[in-house]
Structure 1
Amino acid sequence: MKVAFASTDKIHIDEHFGRAENFLIWEIGPEEAAFSGILQVHSAGEDEENRIEARGAALADCALVYVAQIGGPAAARLVAKKIHPIKSKECEPIAEVVVKLQEVLRNNPPPWLKKAMLKSDRPGFVER
């Protein structure tokens, strides 16, 4: 499944969703994970609602987005698009989060994560 990480330094999850201009995109499955690119979202001069909408549209094919912070309205709009926002611990390294997510995927992911995995175009998960 595709997972986005809001980052200013390309190493840590350290950016607020509404201010993020770079999202690192990863393809993550139970057994493999690969960096697939950087999604740039520019928002100079836009109001808050347009910034949220632009980011949501750009992340449409992602199942999860990890951020340092996110406001309630922005989180609700992402969830409505079936993108699950996750607030990360302060400046958590992306590589560590990828490994932890893979562990959860291999074991017994919660129902909401099983649904998020099914959003992916890649068949990385088979429901038992």
Structure 2
Amino acid sequence: MKVAFATQDLKRVDSHFGWSPNIAVYEISAKDSKLAEVFVFEPTGQDGNDDKLAPKIEAIKDCAILYVTSIGGSGAARAVQAGLHPIKLQQPEAIEDLIAKLQTVLKGNPPPWLRKALLKGKERKLDFEDEEEAIHG
């Protein structure tokens, strides 16, 4: 699964989503991880201008999770609408530590929201009700 990290230094999640100069995207599985891409954005300032969000959402729309130190209501709503699960940290944390924690959870029994996030981008399988609907129309 792809995970996005709002970062200033490419080492820690230390940035507000809307003002973040960089978003590092990693491919993460229970066994390994690799940096897939880094998106660099022009400085925008703290003006409340939501137009700065569109290119960021577009860049990371195939990610399942977004780690930030802060995110505004509009940014959070737009992230969720794009299928991202934003996670707001209380303080900056090293990206490699966050990846290790996530991998530990993936190796165990992930919570329902994470199981759903893992399915992002994969073809949805029909559940029993869908099959009933398809059979009985």
| Conserved 8 A contact 1:3-1:63 | yes
Superposition map of 1:93-108 within 5 A: 93-108=94-109
Secondary structure at the counterpart of residue 56 of structure 1: helix
| Conserved 8 A contact 1:2-1:120 | no
What amino acid maps onto 1:91 in structure 2? P
Shift of 1:104: 0.7
| Conserved 8 A contact 2:19-2:44 | no
User: TM-score by structure 1 length?
Assistant: 0.86
Computed over aligned residues only, the root mean square deviation of the Cα atoms, in angstroms, reads: 1.8
| Percentage of matched positions with identical amino acids | 40
Matched, 1:20 2:53: no
2: CA distance, partners of 1:43 / 1:49: 14
Cα deviation, 1:83-119, whole Å, max 9, x if unaligned, reads 1111123111110000000011111111111111111
Cα deviation, 1:45-67, whole Å, max 9, x if unaligned, reads 89622111221111111111101
Structure number with greater CO (CA < 8 Å, separation at least 6) is 1
User: Structure 2: any 5+ residue segments left out of the alignment?
Assistant: 123-137
User: Structure 1: any 5+ residue segments left out of the alignment?
Assistant: 122-128
Aligned to 1:124: none
Deviant stretches of 4+, over 3 Å: 43-47
Shift of 1:70: 0.4
1: CA distance, partners of 2:105 / 2:58: 27
